[in-house]
Amino acid sequence: MQLDSYYLREKCSSWRTMSGLMDPPSLTQTSSVAPFEFAAFFKGKVDRIRAATTFGAAPVSGRSCGSTLTSYTCLTPDEITQLLPHCPNKQCALELDPLPTSVACSAGMSTIIAKLVNASLNSANFPSSMKHAVVRSTSYRSISNLPFISKVLERVVARQLTSYLKLNQLMPRYQSDYRRNYSIETVLLNICNDALVAADSGMVLSLC
């Protein structure tokens, strides 16, 4: 009897979760702060930090690197073909992405995309046409939708730059954003681990 009751509660809980996902409740604005006031607050905060640190001493890094990243490596159409499936299947506005992403990711487009990417890498120039974006505002955050080709070029450069930084051990040890396998969860786990180790060692902890 108890087992049947347990499964019944679990079933009801699962249905409530699915219902919330399929038909989420409408969001209501609970703050009277306008978006431009929200943006102005953080802009003022950044300006104050910059003003307070303008004449401060430059940060000192104990790391040195004997190699220099002078250029990026051009990609072959086959490498572009392997890269495209990892790009999100999203399409920007028609004036920025005249072709659907599914067509751009087809095998026949790899040669053309490789030529565009390699031309940008060889000239060390990011075309102005790839800098155009359609900006959509959601709540207090604006989202920029960029052309698909610009995202491919961004991914190519990011992979090569990240590989160079890792190879020369230049990645910040505690960077936990825009980095694979490092997120807010890893930061919290690290803090909790340090706190537990300190407590086991008889040290006094202070959380601010």
What is the reported pLDDT for 1? 46
Amino acid at 189: L
Instruction: Report yes or no on 46 lying in a domain.
Output: no
Low-confidence ranges of the chain (pLDDT < 70): 1-33, 61-63, 88-95, 98-100, 107, 138-141, 207-208
Cβ-based neighbours of 156, under 8 Å, separated by 6 or more:
72, 75, 83, 117, 121
**Residue 117 and residue 80 in contact, taking contact as beta carbons nearer than 8 Å:** yes
SS3 call for 137? strand
**Nearest CA among 110, 149, 99, 105 for reference residue 126:** 149
Whether residue 34 is contained in a domain is answered as: no
Which residues span the domain enclosing 140?
Answer: 77-156
151 domain-assigned: yes
| pLDDT score, position 85 | 80
In whole angstroms, give the CA distance from residue 75 to residue 114: 6
Name every residue whose Cβ is closer than 8 Å to that of residue 87 and which is 6 or more positions away in sequence.
101, 105, 148, 151, 152, 155
**Partners of 141 in the beta sheet?**
138
Q: Does 24 map to a domain? A: no
Token pair for residue 45?
């905060």
Per-residue pLDDT at 23: 61
In a domain, 49, yes or no: no
Domains in the chain: how many in total? 1
Residues ≥6 apart with Cβ < 8 Å to 111: 77
85 within some domain: yes
Tokens 């969001």 found at? 27
pLDDT at 122: 92
pLDDT of residue 3: 45
For the entire predicted model, the pTM comes to 0.61
Count of CA atoms in the C-beta half-sphere (13 A) of 7: 3
Do 109 and 158 meet the contact criterion of CB atoms below 8 Å apart? no
pLDDT of 30 = 56
